[in-house]
Amino acid sequence: MLPKMLRFHFTTLKASPFLPISKAIRYPTRLRSQMASFSSSSSSTLLFRQLFEKESSTYTYLLADASHPQKPALLIDPVDRTVDRDLSLIEQLGLKLVYAMNTHVHADHVTGTGLIKSKVPDVKSVISKASGATADLYVEPGDKVYFGNLFLEIRATPGHTKGCVTYVTGDTPGQPRMAFTGDTLLIRGCGRTDFQGGSSEQLYESVHSQIFTLPKNTLIFPAHDYKGFTVSTVGEEMQYNPRLTKDVETFKNIMANLNLSYPKMIDVAVPANMVCGIQSKTS
């Protein structure tokens, strides 16, 4: 069962000021802190859904400014297999999908961003500049992605891959923040560091400097879970994570001796995800 603080679908958040996005965006474009969408209002309501893809045990997250007239929305880490489900839900809820975002270049599934863009052409794909992948918009540390009056702050958290980022909701008094950590920090675990430019030392530093410095009640929403967990907190992981509570040298030794098998989807997923999940057709 989710903790008491999560037994909701809508959470009232205070509006944030923003500047309008330029009308002359060209492809590809970096998403900078001034980026925003739609007009402002006095208050905003966050609509939140956690969705699951069972084959790769991937969580996709839907966030929207439900109090805004156009109900702008975004998806974090969509999966190609569940695009129709996600778009159907967005339509049912009366939302306008603006962004399809990835926390990193995934190796265990094909991202749904390319398929989403083919079905909803106005949607912009988003990924970190450090990933080296193709997208409409690129983010770097400190950038903010606005949807209506709400935003996600970008924190660089490399280590699982060189381009991993964590998306963090704004700091609103009386409400816990939410951190979408991708594969960098999992519930009682972390992502592997033995491919795609991974580094155990870098992952350790990323978690301790960029995630564990958030308030302890910040909710942790990872890209995967394999044991039936849905959410954790910064405080829980600081106390109970069996890997990241150790010192850095012990952590590096743990990661060097995981003896994990070669990811079965990596040879398909990584090339596709480097180009927004668009797979080349064989001639």
**What is the predicted pLDDT for the residue at 282?**
38
- Separation CA 254–CA 208 (nearest Å): 17
SS3 135: coil
Give, in words, the CATH class of 8-258.
alpha beta
Q: How distant is the alpha carbon of residue 257 from its chain centre?
A: 28
Diameter over CA atoms, the chain: 57
pLDDT tens, position by position, 110-124: 999 999 999 999 999
CB atoms within 10 A of CB 236: 17
pLDDT tens, position by position, 152-164: 999 999 999 999 9
Average pLDDT over residues 55-71: 96
Confidence (pTM): 0.85
Q: Which amino acid appears at position 250 of this protein?
A: T
Average pLDDT over residues 66-87: 97
CA-wise closest residue to 113 among 85, 104, 123: 123
Identify the residue with better confidence: 147 or 1.
147
CA-wise closest residue to 70 among 40, 29, 101: 40
Question: Does residue 70 contact residue 148 with C-beta atoms inside 8 Å?
Answer: yes
**What is the predicted pLDDT for the residue at 175?**
74
SS3 85: helix
| pLDDT above 70: residue 217 | yes
**What is the predicted pLDDT for the residue at 105?**
97
**Partners of 62 in the beta sheet?**
49, 75
Average pLDDT over residues 180-200: 97
| pLDDT above 70: residue 200 | yes
277 confidence band (pLDDT: 50, 70, 90): confident
CB atoms within 10 A of CB 153: 20
176 confidence band (pLDDT: 50, 70, 90): confident
